[in-house]
Structure 1
Amino acid sequence: MSWRPDLRRSVRLFSDFRVEQTDPARFYSALASDSVGQLSGYLDLDGATVLDVGGGPGYFRDAFQRAGATYWALDADVGELAGLGSIAHGTVVGDGMNLPFRDASVDLCYSSNVLEHVPRPWDMAEEMLRITRPGGIAFISYTLWFGPWGGHETSPWHFLGGRFARRRYARKHGHEPKNKYGESLFAVTVRDGVRWARRQQAGEVLAVIPRYNPRWSYWMTRVPLLRELVTWNLVIVVRKE
């Protein structure tokens, strides 16, 4: 069946998302399969070279390899890379804001829910375009700060400020959250993504859309303020020129 951003798909993804903390394999495996379907509308993955920036333990590996892609994963955290028990072949430890790959070296540079975890997110986006071959795709997806899950495990208290939410979490649980505002979690918005997409000069912007939403709701990304509150995750797709 062809990939379609309909309501049934959205309900399924949001249902899986509810167990992201307790059963990450379920959520990320479903998201990986959905991503492969979505990407099939932009390029043929069979024979493509893919770099997954922030690939972590490799939940996306199987989905991309089943589609015929040569898969590489990069993460700055060795602990994340070993999250499934061992570090798989084709993984690289490195900095997303300074990718250790030569110019124009991959057909698809992919990143899912990583941009909000780096202090200079649009430097990372530029790096992703740098290493993408002409005609290739950069697929950038990130969690929006003013969305319901913007504070990650500190949500919904992030609406009162990231530092407040972080302190509240530490008081309640007796330890810091995994995603520490100001250190490993940063506020990134739809407006930021739209502005970057307009000013980047490396390629043609094919899509700036909410990732989990059905197609009929895509108009929301054009409405300031509303788009920040009702969009959980934004996707920017750029074809390198």
Structure 2
Amino acid sequence: MAVTEVFAQRATLSRSLRLLWEFRYEQPDPTRFYSGLASDTAAMVGDLWRGIHGDSMAGRAVLDVGGGPGYFATAFADAGVHYLGVEPDPAEMHSSGVVFERNAGTFVRASGMALPFADDSVDICLSSNVAEHVPRPWRLGAEMLRVTRPGGLVVLSYTVWLGPFGGHEMGLTHYLGGARAADRYARRHGHRAKNDYGSSLFAVSVAEGLDWAASTGALVDAFPRYHPRWAWWLTSVPVLREFLVSNLVLVLRP
């Protein structure tokens, strides 16, 4: 069975439209949006694990690099997974109040580019929408591979810079250039964006991710995270993929 075959059955147009519809609530109701995204992510990782091993990921240990305020912890706990969350920003970790709400997992303050875990120590390592926020995304990827047991699963998903959501809260102004868009946002709002180009937001392309993943020898598949299965072919088309693959998933098996 192909690694992505199980998840491909879930990657329908109705799922894509539902996630896009829910994106409206990211700012006014983050709990609604991120809880739904976390549940969808846990299901995706579970499907990818089943595609490799043929069984459930329940009882396994997952390390979530950039776990944020705990929405993912709850979703993975509901799936029966032992959850470890890494987050460098304590304000982000406590922003929603859900981190310690259900004792859903263990949380560590650390950088994803220097994970405080031993080699081969977890079954699954996930990074969701973090790579575009660090200056050395492939160092993060290398760390994820290091801490994952041979035969395990690494899922690195990130927002593509030239895609429609690459600018984050700057909107489509990132097509004017990252620095210009960041300055424009600051002038308009009177403060720098949370995702500020050059400090907390960086331009990461599909091509860079695919090249890095291929160089590791561990890449087993790559696909657009939020697209229906029939649109996954976009990942293989240079230039076009940079604009139409809004979020790339790299699936690796150490």
Q: TM-score surpassing 0.5?
A: yes
Whole-Å Cα distance in 2 between the matches of residues 28 and 34 of structure 1? Answer: 10
Q: Does the 8 A contact of 1:45 with 1:64 survive in 2?
A: no
Among 114, 121, 128, which residue is 1:98 paired with?
Answer: 114
Which residue matches 2:245? 231
Q: CA RMSD in A?
A: 1.5
Q: Does 1:184 align with 2:190?
A: no
Which residue matches 2:158? 142
Whole-Å Cα distance in 2 between the matches of residues 28 and 159 of structure 1? Answer: 26
Which residue matches 2:180? 164
Measured after TM superposition, the shift of residue 206 of structure 1 is 2.4
Among 124, 128, 132, which residue is 1:116 paired with?
Answer: 132
Q: Which moved more, 1:70-79 or 1:27-36?
A: 27-36
Structure whose residues are more often helix by fraction: 2
Whole-Å Cα distance in 1 between the matches of residues 99 and 38 of structure 2? Answer: 19
Whole-Å Cα distance in 2 between the matches of residues 149 and 121 of structure 1? Answer: 18
Among 33, 48, 54, which residue is 2:60 paired with?
Answer: 48
Matches within 5 A, 1:1-241: 4-43=10-49, 44-85=56-97, 87-88=99-100, 90-201=106-217, 203=218, 205-240=219-254
Whole-Å Cα distance in 2 between the matches of residues 65 and 5 of structure 1? Answer: 23
Measured after TM superposition, the shift of residue 21 of structure 1 is 2.2
Whole-Å Cα distance in 1 between the matches of residues 10 and 142 of structure 2? Answer: 29
Total equivalences in the alignment: 238
SS state at 2:64 partner: strand
Measured after TM superposition, the shift of residue 65 of structure 1 is 0.7
TM-score (norm 1): 0.95
Q: Does the 8 A contact of 2:70 with 2:98 survive in 1?
A: no
The runs of 5 or more residues in structure 1 that have no matched partner are: none
Measured after TM superposition, the shift of residue 86 of structure 1 is 6.6
**Amino acid of the structure 2 residue aligned with 1:237:** V
SS state at 2:108 partner: strand
Measured after TM superposition, the shift of residue 31 of structure 1 is 1.4
TM-score (norm 2): 0.90
Q: Does the 8 A contact of 2:73 with 2:99 survive in 1?
A: no
Q: Deviations over 1:133-179 (max 9, x none)?
A: 11110111100100001010012110111110000001111111111
Identity %: 52
Q: Which moved more, 1:72-81 or 1:35-44?
A: 35-44
